[in-house]
Amino acid sequence: MTTATPLLRAARKSRNLTQKAIADRLHVDQGRISRAESAGELEYGTVERILGATGHRLYSAPTRRDDVATAASSIRSHLRRGDRHRALRAFIQLSDDLQAERGLIRGVLVVAEPEPTGEAVWDSALAALVSLRLNEENLPHPEWTKTPNRHLTSPRTLEVDPADPRPGPGDVPEEFLEHGVLIWSDTLASV
């Protein structure tokens, strides 16, 4: 089950706001915003008020799948622990989740800009994956996928296993090439 914490952090950071700025807007102390961003579960009204203070609105959609902000948070955690295989697993799960949804629901899962993972190649890969899955249904792309920090200047792999061969351009989905990420097309095939 997804918690609101990645969404709250992503919404705040997408507007370059501090926790204090949000607290001031809501006339609460900064610690309350900090606790909300790290809490396991929050009431709907609390999430709605905090998002409103960032200039965002809360919409819900019928899905059991995680959104890109939640997946990025999981990937970041795995990378911090040095577990690149689990980070890749979370990335593939996001790919599967996006592919399983259609239309508006797919778009809802990718609209909130995810927090950085701590590695530019993974941040670019997330944007590439979102672009790939949205292109499958001719859906518009959120602006965050087009920002310079989501495109590498020189192509790189995710460096999960040093023994993995480097894919050639013909083996990489076009959206990943555009973002500078070299990943085998079959990596994204659900098993």
Q: What are the pLDDT digits (tens) for 83-120?
A: 999 999 999 999 999 999 998 889 888 988 898 999 99
Q: What is the pTM of this model?
A: 0.75
**Bridge partners of residue 156, in order along the sequence:** 181
Helices (H), the chain: 5-14, 19-26, 30-38, 44-53, 68-80, 84-100, 103-108, 120-135, 174-179
C-alpha–C-alpha distance, residues 166 and 180, integer Å: 13
- Residues 20-47: pLDDT tens digits? 998 899 899 988 888 888 876 778 788 8
Residue ranges per structural domain of the chain: 5-53, 68-188
Asked whether the predicted pLDDT for residue 161 surpasses 60, the reply is: yes
The pLDDT of residue 94: 96
| 42: three-class secondary structure by DSSP | coil
C-alpha–C-alpha distance, residues 2 and 64, integer Å: 8
The pLDDT of residue 51: 80
The pLDDT of residue 191: 56
Asked whether the predicted pLDDT for residue 1 surpasses 60, the reply is: no
Q: What angle do CA 19, 23, 29 make, to 5 degrees?
A: 105
- Residues 40-85: pLDDT tens digits? 677 878 888 888 888 777 766 677 888 999 999 999 999 999 999 9
